[in-house]
Structure formats: structure tokens, C-alpha cells
Structure 1
Amino acid sequence: DARFRFDSVRREKGFFLHSGRGEQGRFEAGQQVACRVDRDFRMATARNHTATHLLHHALRRVLGQHAKQSGSHVSAERLRFDFSNPTELGPDQLREVEDIVNAKILENDPVIGTQMSLSEAREAGAIALFGETYGDIVRVLSIGDYSRELCGGTHCESTGQVGLFRITHESSVAGGVRRIEAVTGLGVLERLRRREEQIGHVCRVLRTQEQDLERRAGELLGEIRALEREVQQERQRVAQQLASGSLLDQAEQIGDVRLILAVLGGRHAELRSAADVLRKDNERVACALASTHSGKVALVTAVSGDLVARGLSALRMATAAAAILDGGGGGRDDLAQAGGADPSRLEEAFDEVRRLVRENFGGDAATNRA
């Protein structure tokens, strides 16, 4: 037994060429073969194809006659329809389009294909795809009295066979061209089942019932935000304790300036808390405090008020360090912050801060522990 599965068809020079792949056995010239259509596959494809014509009609009703087809793709699993429109469709517009398509499905209108000349088709008002080449004789696909397009593909016999239509995604594919993706028939049922399984899993994880899921999610979100605030407050408290104690003990003496260069835990908020304590509670103090997280650097620089008056700038320190760290910064002369994408150069950034302080106050560039 030899078996060959066709998976695509194209038209060339008036002929329909079918292509595919051999699944078993070997074919010989002169053999008789029997061709069978996979009915389930064919009907699934037909549902999605007929749905594109209904979708085209619905889009022109909702958006206007400018909403013309720019391309499409139909398979047994889903459909994709590109159309001209300058802006994104909002939720209300998508719902209206979906409702129109499903209403036409419920009306079970006949889907009729008619062979006629291209000139007759145009006189009948059939819509042709821009850029497509047609022969002298074309097939006009009519649905009720509202859709008439040139089309040679497989279709349902009536709109009711589409079953159900559900939009899954809307997006932009080019300037002035939007795309809608959708499923029909059993594809809608399968999508519904997957969603129900997801909801059931979330309910089990959160230990609640489906009708209480939204309320439970809101409660948990509130708890998470409260815990995040508590963690941030605790980090700031620890940072402030470090700033008032051990960080000062680590200060380097450059001239009469105490310079603190340290890597701490936390993010910008915690670093600012420590820097605030250092600059407000002490004189002749400058600092550059950093942390690393997920391959990024957070940096805060600060200068006590008396040193700002003498010309030292936290903003200049931050921007100079950020340039080395492949980032940027901003702020004021007394307090600034920066970010960077290269943690491996953090020591170089600290060295640049040292250089700036020495430039202002170091004299002979000597550096000692306080």
C-alpha cells in the first residue's frame, strides 16, 4: 500500500497543481489510485474561509467602506484577515464586529458559488482582491444579499455551518493595515475548554471558587503591595542604619573630604535613603552608593551642603560614573542618581568618582582611610 498526503494547492497557467508528501510505500507509473477528501479537515477549513467573508462584511459595516481586504490566511485551525484601517480597533468595535458575524451565522444564509465572466462579476458588484490576477471566467461567492466576492476556495453551504466565531487577536502589520485573528466552530469550543481549565487551575491555586476569583485576586494583590511596602521600608531602615554607622567607618579621606564608595543591597530607593542620611547629618561628606540587580547597576551619589558650596557636584559624579557603566543619570548638585548596563565596570566608575573628588580637594592625590 502506498499513501500520499496532499497539503497545498496552487494555480499556475490555468492548472491547479496539488503538492504534498509520501507517507508510506512507493508509487509507480501506471498505478490506479483512489483520492479521498479528509472531510473533518475540509469542513474546518471551509468554516474559517466562509468566516473571512462574513468578517469582511462586518468590518465594512462597523468601520466604513475603506476597510478593504489586504490579505488573508485560512487553515483548519484558525483564520487571519488583514484589512485597511488607520487605527486600532477598540474593545467595543471588536465586540460589534464579532456580534455581526455571529448574527449572520445564526441566520443560516445560503453560500452560493456562481461561474461568470469577469465583466459580469464586476457589473454585479463583486469585490475583487487588489493586486490579484483573474481569468476571463471567475467564481463569485455570494452570501445572502450582503456579501459578493471573487473567490475560488472551499466554503460552507450555509453560514450556519460556521457554528461560532470568536476573535482572538487584533494587531498592526503595516502602516494603515490591521490584522484580525479568529477561530470558528470546534476551534471556539477548544479555546473555551482551555480557558476553563486555566480558570480551574487558578482557582485551585488560590483556593477559591470561580465566582469569587476576581475578589480573591484583588485581596491577594493588596496583600502583595502591602508586603512590598513593608520590605522597602525595612530596606530603607537598614540602609539608614548603615549610613549612620558602618558606612562612615569605611570612608576614604581625600583632603578634608570623607568619600564613601560602597555596594549595598536594594534599589534606588534604598540607596537614596542611605545617601540622604550621609549628606544631611554630616559635613565634608561625599558618597557614591551602588547596587546590582539582573545585570543592571543602580547608583546614587550625594554631597553634603558645605561641599556643594565649595563646588563639588553629585550630578557631575553621577553622570561621569554612568558614562562608564553604559547608562545615564540625572539629579541635583546635592543628590543624583544613575543607572547602567555594565556591572563589570563598577570599580572603574568608583575610580572616576575618586578622581573628581581629588580634582577638587585632593591636592597630591593621596587617599587614606578616615
Structure 2
Amino acid sequence: MLGNFSFGDYFKKEAIKWAWELTTIEFGLPANRLWISIYEEDDEAFAIWHDEVGVPVDRIKRMGEDDNFWTSGITGPCGPCSEIYYDFQPEKGYSDVDLGDDTRFMEFYNLVFMQYNKRDDGSLEPLKQKNIDTGLGLERMARILQKVPNNYETDLIYPIIQKASELANVTYDTADNQSKTNLKIIGDHMRAVVYLISDGVVPSNIGRGYVVRRLIRRVVRTGRLLGIKGDGIGNIDRAFTPLIAEKVIALSNHIDEDVKGRAGRILEELKREELRFVQTLERGEKLLEEMLADALASAKEGGRIPCLAGKDAFLLYDTYGFPVEITTEVAQERGVVVDMEGFDIEMDNQRRQSQAAHNVVKLEVGEGADIMETISDTEFLGYDTLSAKAIVESLIVNGNPVLQVSEGNDVEVLLNRTPFYAESGGQIGDHGFIYISEGENSQNVVVEVKDVQKSAGSIFVHKGIIKQGILEVGREVEAAVDAELRQRAKVHHTATHLLQSALKRTIGQETSQAGSLVAFDRLRFDFNYHRPLVDAEIVKIEELINGWIGDAVLLQTKVMPLTEAKKAGAIAMFGEKYGEEVRVVEVPGVSMELCGGTHVFNTSEIRGFKIISEQGIASGVRRIEAVAGDAFIEYVNTRDSHMKRLCTMLKVKAEDVTTRVDNLLEELRMARNEISNLREKTAVFKASSIANKAFLVGTSKEIRVLVEYMDDTDADSLKSAAEFLIDNLQDPAAIVLGSCPGEGKVSLVAAFTPSVVDLGVQAGKFIGSIAKLCGGGGGGRPNFAQAGGRKPENLLDALENARSELTRILSEKAS
């Protein structure tokens, strides 16, 4: 979108004349093809267009509020607008013209005249300073100038479509309408995805990352509909999206050089996401086809419209990662509707179950006045001081404003100014005290602050408990931050900046922050990366950071215009909203970031840094947890204490601990093997002593049956006993053994010779039915199977049942 803006410098007359000049002179569009729409009551705009610009009356259309009056909301700045349309079919003349006919007309320029303020009652009052906000569609202008039938065939997108056509082995100009639509989808989505990944948004299952994932997956799905398999040039196990992305990157060279510089990362992310989704597609498509077939069959039997149940669509989404948009598309192709209402119900149920508590403080009041309209933003003093005098502007208990709060009650305190840092930018809120001390004979007041949050705007909410006295609105108090905890937070926040810089230097500049937590006891940093870090990378990161700590670098903090900060190379968190002026925290020669948090003055204050864990938390997102400062010292001391204890227990020096542990583990393994062998030998010995308990069943064929309980025998030993017995009893034979290897455990095994199996009696099915009596289950091959249970008190009865059932079944089979 192109545009020009004015905040009181010029207004309607200049905006209209300049728009006409740009359109007809600079772009050279013929005036007789341009039509104008204005708000029906905007006589001023009509006069400018007709009397001063010279547009004929019959090409100026007055339109209603829905079309030509712009508002920012229910209340606030608003005003009429005027639009310029291009006429693709002027031969149709001037009579009965409808600018809404998009086969003939296309709006490409919109001029918004913000001249009113809309009140709560709907009335309009003139603004003292009138503003201009215009929008000119870049792709629409390109379509007009390049004389192509739609935006997709401009030189902004068409080369991407041509690349997709090449991979699909189709010619765009002669393709059917559906194929053209599919090619347009690929062209449009691939351009968006390349720029999003370039800006640091990687595929994930949450937030903007899920938008990228959905776009890529639709491209892959659409490519498959066009017949693109693999990379489209014969390699079935490769990806095609990187080949199309290369065309997007090439088109971006003269627009955004950063895209070319990040090409490697863009192509790698696309390749990984596509290949992962192809596996998902293959699993999901198979299941979806079965579901659609069932839906079609059920509808045919009942004479209903085929419908895919919402819970089935949600199963595909939740279990198989199959986007509901693709489910809907595939279903529509088969003539099946998707129960989206049912899907939404399932989704809402899941959200309710997994919804985490958030930190937005809701200052909702009952019958009182809205607190937000009576309190100004809190003045933050915490960069320069840890204590300050302030006035209590409001007290809130259970969401309602009160005039005073007594000892023992939880309270939210709103001050006019504060040294307390409110949680934001990943850094948790300060702890400390708000108090009134008026001498021995006066009532002192103490509030212990355990959290500080920001409400809408910048009102700081101090959450705590009244430890002493009664706090009243309007009183002057002393607000004091816990200096030790603030220092811990400062250390971890600066260490977080060093960590991001070290990560970029170790694994590549393309990695970017995906989230963070700066706490008193640790820091947590989430970043975009496709694989776990190896030990050598973690060591390098730690060495870089501890080196910067040892260099004792003085930090520099300054406030500057956002544009200047970005030009200087300051890192901004993608998706964050910044004002025109921003705070920049720089560790010279190391890092520069936009940041409103608290930091150390010198890197030497950090003292030391250690990564304590690194793990994946989502697709393409890794998480590092680390400690610094006092938390680092505590971590090292704790580890040292553990090591000393190990040395004492193992009677070795620290450098010999791992060798000693390896030796002990090997000894333990050998001992366990020896115990296992002894148990199996014992079980075989026990088995030989019970073999003579086998009894004969059947008349035409005598079958030896043995069903026995073996005490103190684990599952493996029970298996060995059954194998011994089946080898030593003559065919035909059927054996069932049971034991209780531990508290609350049951082990069962069944072994049948080939002749018994030939009679149609299978060990797997039989032992499974017996195991149910013991609160368990199991199965296996027809000739040999194992099972388990959780009710040892039922085992003897279960074995008796097995004996009776086996006797009955084999008697019938062998009679």
C-alpha cells in the first residue's frame, strides 16, 4: 500500500489535487477512464473535484456512509472519504453506472478526510486539527499500467506463478480456471511466506508462526493438487517450495536486500516444513478419505447431505496436525460439508482445558466509576532510584475500588509514581515494600509487594498484602524496591542480551528471539532454530558471554527515534509495538537492542554465566535456561557440594568420578545379568518339578495340559519356564503359568504346541481373556503369548478359570 499523510499541514483541496496530478500526469492514466466517489453530504469535495480539478458531473458519484465515510471505531476521529476508480470498459457509457461492478471498475486510490470526532451519542464535532490519510494500491496500479487482467499477472507475482507452472508442467495461459486459481494461491502465499520468514517469523503452532505454517501447508496441498510431487523435477523425496522461493528472493533484490541475505535460512525453513507436512498429509489424507467415505455412505443410507462430524475434523487437526482449512477444501471437493460448529466446540473445549493464566490486570469495577478514566499513567522512576515518595491514587480489593484496606488483606495499590518495575519485555515485576513510618506513637503501615503488573496503558498495579496497619487512598507513602532482587533481575536481563548476541555469532545471524523470561533465579530464552545445539556450540556460547563479562564493558542506554535506532542496527522484537521514541540498551561491540528493562551498568556485575538446559519446546523453537550473577554462584556452589559428596561416597578424586561411575555401572550390569540368569535357572528348575502335574484332555487326541502358579518368578523367568516346559512335554501340549513378580503386579504366559494351534486354539487370545480377570491384558503369537495385570489377589481364581476353560475347549476340539 502506498500513501501520503498530513497532520494539520494540508487538507482536502491539496490532497485531491495532488492525487489527480499523480494519477493523470505522473502515472499517465487517461482522465476519461477515471471515476470519482464521494460521501453523499460532502459538497466541499464535490466542488473541488468538479470546479477545480475539472471532473465531469456525471463521473462523480455520491455514495452513502457504508461506502464513503471512514471511522476508527464507535467513537473517535472520523470523516468522509473520496475514491478514484479505473474504468476498464468505457465503451459501456455513462448511464446506469454502478461503481460496485468489479468486472468494469476497480478502486485504486482512497482519500480519507479525518475532520470530525465522533462522540458517544453519535454526534460529530469538528476536529481542531484536520488530517489526511490516503491509500494507493501498489498492485492495482501495476495492473492498470501493465494492462493485465488481474493483480496476479503483474510483474510482482506472475514470475512466481510461472515458476510454479513450470514445476506443475502446465501452461498458465491455457490452463483451466481451477488450475489458474491454484497457481495464483501458490504465487500469493509464497511471496508472503518468504517475507515473513525473512522477518523472523518461523512456522509453529502458535500465533503468527501458525499463520506461516498454514500458508506453507496450503501451498504444499495446492501443489499436490496440481500434480507437483517432490521437487517437481523428478526428485520425489525433496521439496518444491524452496525452488519457488528462489524466484521470490530474486524479485526482492532491488526492494529489500535483507531478503537475499537471509535466503539460506528461508529455503531451509521451507524445505523442513514442507517435508514434515508431506508426512502429515499422507497420514491425514488416508484417514480423511476413510472419514469422507463413511460420511458419504451414511448420507446415502439416510438421504441426508453428506457431513463430516466436527469431532472428526478436530481429530485430524489435533492429533495429525491437519489444518481444518485443508480438511474443508478436500471435503468440498468430495461434496461433503464440514460441521464447523462442532469443530469450534471441540476447539473451545481444548482451549478451556489448556488456557494458562495471563498477566493482564483487569481493573473492572462494579457500580463505581471506571478507574481507568480517573487515573493517569504511572510515572516510572526505577531507572534512577530504588525508593521514592508517592501518593496512593487507588486501592483495589477483589476487583473493586475501596478507600482503605486493613492488615491481613490482599490489595492492589495504584501510585502516581513508582520505582517498581512492572512486568514487561520478559522481565518479571519488582518485589519490595510500600510503607508509612510516622514514629513510635503513630500507626505505621507496611505493604509487602510481591508482583507489579501493567494494566491497559501504563498504569502500574502493585500487588501485595497489608502486613501492618491500615492503608488509605490519598496517603503519601514510601515505595522501596528490594535492591537484591532487582540486581538479580538486572543481571539476568543483561545476560539475556549477551546470550542473543552469542547465539547469533555461534549458529547464525538469522536466528531470532521467540520469547524470554527474566527472573530473579534464572533466565529463559526462546529462539528460532531447527535442531538441538551440540555441546561444542553451548561451550562456545558460554565462552563468549563469560569473555564479555570479564571485559568489564560499560553499558550505554539512550532514547532515540525508532527510525534512527533501526538504522543504527538495534534489534527489535518482531511483533512488538514501539512508539516514535525508543529506549536503546547497548553493550558496545557486543549487542544493541530496543529494551525498556533494567540492566547492569557494567558487564562485570554479571560475574558469571552458565547454561543449565537446552531443549525444544515447539516445532522450530528451542529454549535455553541459564543462570548468572548470584544465581550462577549458587548453582556452581551447589554443583561443587554435590561433587564433593560424590567424591566422599566413591572414595575418589573429582577427576576420577566419571571413571568410577562407569566402572560401577558395568559391575551393576554384570550383576543384573547374573541375577537374571540365576532367576531363569531357578524358574527352569521349578518348571521341571511341576511338569509331572500335567493332565490329559481329549479322547481322539490326548493333550497334555499344565496350568500352575509359580511363586517368586518375574516375567522373563516365567517365559523361560514356559519355553522349557513346551520343549520337554510331548506335542500336543498346552501350558499356562502365572506369578506375582512384585507388589500389585501379575505375570501370565501361555504356550501351545503346533497341534493345539491347529485345533483353532490361540495362545494370544486365550491369555488375553484370562488377564482381564486380573485387571490387565496382553497377547502375542498363536503359539506363545504373555500378559500382565494389576490385581494379584485374583490370580489364583484366574488360573483356576484358565484350567477349566482350557479343559473344556480342548475336550470339545479333541473329542
TM-score normalised by L of structure 1: 0.86
Q: Equivalent residue for 1:261?
A: 707
**Does 2:692 correspond to 1:245?**
no
| Greater displacement, 323-332 / 177-186 | 323-332
1:169-188 to structure 2, matched below 5 A, reads 169-188=613-632
Q: Please tell me whether the aligned partners of residues 320 and 353 of structure 1 are also in contact (alpha carbons under 8 angstroms).
A: no
C-alpha distance in 2 between matches for 1:112 and 1:10 = 26
* 2:779 pairs with one of 307, 326, 329: 329
| Greater displacement, 31-40 / 183-192 | 31-40
SS at match of 2:600: coil
Deviation at 1:358, TM superposition (A): 3.5
Deviations 1:51-87, CA, capped at 9 Å, x for gaps:
0101111111222233211111111211111111122
Deviation at 1:96, TM superposition (A): 1.7
C-alpha distance in 1 between matches for 2:493 and 2:525 = 10
**Does 2:752 correspond to 1:303?**
yes
Q: Equivalent residue for 1:281?
A: 728
Alignment CA distance shift 1:242-1:304 (3 Å): farther
Q: Please tell me whether the aligned partners of residues 302 and 314 of structure 1 are also in contact (alpha carbons under 8 angstroms).
A: yes
Q: Equivalent residue for 1:109?
A: 553
Q: Equivalent residue for 1:131?
A: 575
Q: Please tell me whether the aligned partners of residues 709 and 799 of structure 2 are also in contact (alpha carbons under 8 angstroms).
A: no
Amino acid in structure 2 at the alignment position of 1:15: S
Specify which structure has the higher proportion of strand.
1
Deviation at 1:168, TM superposition (A): 0.7
Deviation at 1:310, TM superposition (A): 5.8
SS at match of 1:339: strand
C-alpha distance in 1 between matches for 2:669 and 2:724 = 26
Q: Equivalent residue for 2:462?
A: 19
SS at match of 2:598: coil
Q: Equivalent residue for 2:675?
A: 231
Q: Please tell me whether the aligned partners of residues 321 and 353 of structure 1 are also in contact (alpha carbons under 8 angstroms).
A: no
Deviation at 1:364, TM superposition (A): 9.3
Q: Please tell me whether the aligned partners of residues 48 and 183 of structure 1 are also in contact (alpha carbons under 8 angstroms).
A: yes
**Does 2:586 correspond to 1:142?**
yes
Q: Please tell me whether the aligned partners of residues 455 and 461 of structure 2 are also in contact (alpha carbons under 8 angstroms).
A: no
Q: Please tell me whether the aligned partners of residues 737 and 748 of structure 2 are also in contact (alpha carbons under 8 angstroms).
A: yes
Alignment CA distance shift 1:91-1:339 (3 Å): farther
| Greater displacement, 3-12 / 58-67 | 3-12
Amino acid in structure 1 at the alignment position of 2:720: S
C-alpha distance in 2 between matches for 1:274 and 1:85 = 52
User: Structure 2: 5+ residue runs without aligned partners?
Assistant: 1-443
Deviation at 1:319, TM superposition (A): 5.3
Q: Equivalent residue for 1:5?
A: 448
| Greater displacement, 292-301 / 106-115 | 292-301
Q: Please tell me whether the aligned partners of residues 613 and 626 of structure 2 are also in contact (alpha carbons under 8 angstroms).
A: yes
Q: Please tell me whether the aligned partners of residues 140 and 148 of structure 1 are also in contact (alpha carbons under 8 angstroms).
A: yes
Alignment CA distance shift 1:132-1:349 (3 Å): farther
**Does 2:644 correspond to 1:192?**
no
Deviation at 1:39, TM superposition (A): 2.3
RMSD: 2.9
| Greater displacement, 15-24 / 231-240 | 15-24
| Greater displacement, 87-96 / 339-348 | 339-348
Deviation at 1:244, TM superposition (A): 1.3
Alignment CA distance shift 1:33-1:309 (3 Å): closer
C-alpha distance in 2 between matches for 1:186 and 1:231 = 48
* 1:64 pairs with one of 485, 508, 523: 508
Alignment CA distance shift 1:202-1:94 (3 Å): same
C-alpha distance in 2 between matches for 1:357 and 1:86 = 60
C-alpha distance in 1 between matches for 2:454 and 2:762 = 73
C-alpha distance in 1 between matches for 2:709 and 2:633 = 55
Q: Equivalent residue for 2:8?
A: none
C-alpha distance in 1 between matches for 2:565 and 2:799 = 73
| Greater displacement, 174-183 / 90-99 | 90-99
Q: Equivalent residue for 2:424?
A: none
Q: Please tell me whether the aligned partners of residues 583 and 595 of structure 2 are also in contact (alpha carbons under 8 angstroms).
A: yes
Deviation at 1:300, TM superposition (A): 2.3
Q: Equivalent residue for 2:603?
A: 159
Deviation at 1:169, TM superposition (A): 1.0
Amino acid in structure 2 at the alignment position of 1:150: L
Q: Equivalent residue for 1:39?
A: 483
Q: Please tell me whether the aligned partners of residues 288 and 350 of structure 1 are also in contact (alpha carbons under 8 angstroms).
A: no
Deviation at 1:263, TM superposition (A): 3.2
C-alpha distance in 1 between matches for 2:753 and 2:489 = 73
Amino acid in structure 2 at the alignment position of 1:190: E
SS at match of 1:15: coil
Q: Please tell me whether the aligned partners of residues 322 and 338 of structure 1 are also in contact (alpha carbons under 8 angstroms).
A: no
> How many residues end up aligned between the 2 structures?
362
C-alpha distance in 1 between matches for 2:804 and 2:535 = 56
Deviations 1:238-285, CA, capped at 9 Å, x for gaps:
211221123532x35432323222333333321122112211112143
Residue identity (%): 33
Deviation at 1:185, TM superposition (A): 1.3
Alignment CA distance shift 1:109-1:209 (3 Å): closer
Q: Please tell me whether the aligned partners of residues 759 and 813 of structure 2 are also in contact (alpha carbons under 8 angstroms).
A: no
C-alpha distance in 1 between matches for 2:639 and 2:708 = 50
C-alpha distance in 2 between matches for 1:243 and 1:8 = 68
Amino acid in structure 2 at the alignment position of 1:257: I
SS at match of 1:36: strand
Deviations 1:2-42, CA, capped at 9 Å, x for gaps:
22233433444553514132332222345433333332221
